[in-house]
Amino acid sequence: MVMDWKLVDSILWVDDDLVIINKPSGLPTLPDGYAPDRPHIKSEYSPLFGDLWIVHRLDRETSGVLAIARNPSAHRSLNDQFAGRTILKVYQALVVGDPSWQEKQIDYSLRPDGDRRHRTVIDRVAGKPARTCFKVLERYRGYTRVEAIPKTGRAHQIRSHLAAEGYPIAGDSLYGSHQGIYLSQLKPGYRGNKSGERPLLDRLGLHALALGIIHPKTGAPLKFEAPFPKDIATAVRQLKKYG
């Protein structure tokens, strides 16, 4: 087997029970029903580790910490932890706009697949309870970096909660405008070729930064952190410099 070093470099932890990876943006967690031959987590990592059990999902464009079980026992343990809401999940997002708050807890009930675009929508009657705790980390010109800690695990929870507040995540084509982040937006007197300018960030600006779990066999508390991928790191660096 030819070793894919990009996959190897994404591994944060591996033992007989777990594989923890820094999932790259663009790689789906599960097979795409419309394109079953498209690469996904199991198809890419199973050649390295054998049978794998998916425990939780990250959206295709979202990067960051993803836990994968290597046996049914580990799978059951992690499923129980997610169901019991004992797992710590910490995200960071680059959002469009300047939130009026420094910290905020959002408790909008959510209903998945709620419109023609199959978005998760706010539904205070038929929706399921959903809670996310947000904190502003840095404010820039036109953008803000926020921490998001979901207390529940609804589909698109962070994206829909932020969009409902009026601060969609940068690059979110489903809940925002899909406008990427460009250096020409930030740098005064930018003289590059704007017509052919490549964006600093041209996808959903959401990253699963940290995940805290209990090891399914040893019972030890574990916390994993995934560094920003190159595109988000570059966007943050330029926002700090010019924004």
| 25-39, 112-126, 130-144, 185-199: range with lowest mean pLDDT | 185-199
Question: How wide is the angle at C-alpha 236 spanned by C-alphas 30 and 239, nearest 5°?
Answer: 140
Residue 27 has pLDDT above 70, yes or no: yes
Q: Which of 59, 107, 202, 231 is catalytic?
A: 59
Question: How wide is the angle at C-alpha 146 spanned by C-alphas 144 and 147, nearest 5°?
Answer: 170
Average pLDDT for residues 194-199, to the nearest whole number? 79
What is the value of pTM for the model shown? Answer: 0.94
Residue 231 has pLDDT above 80, yes or no: yes
pLDDT value, residue 138: 98
Question: pLDDT for 197-230, tens place per residue?
Answer: 899 999 999 999 999 999 999 999 999 999 999 9
pLDDT value, residue 92: 98
Residue 193 has pLDDT above 70, yes or no: no
List C-alpha distances in Å: 116 to 95, 119, 142, 170, 178. 24, 8, 30, 22, 18
pLDDT value, residue 2: 39
**Domains in the chain, start-ordered, CATH in brackets?**
5-242 (3.30.2350.10)
Closest CA to 49 of 21, 22, 70, 66: 70
| 29-38, 46-55, 160-169: range with lowest mean pLDDT | 29-38
Residue 16 has pLDDT above 70, yes or no: yes
- Whether 113 sits among the annotated catalytic residues: the reply is no
Average pLDDT for residues 169-183, to the nearest whole number? 91
pLDDT value, residue 179: 81
Extract the tokens encoding 87.
């797992």
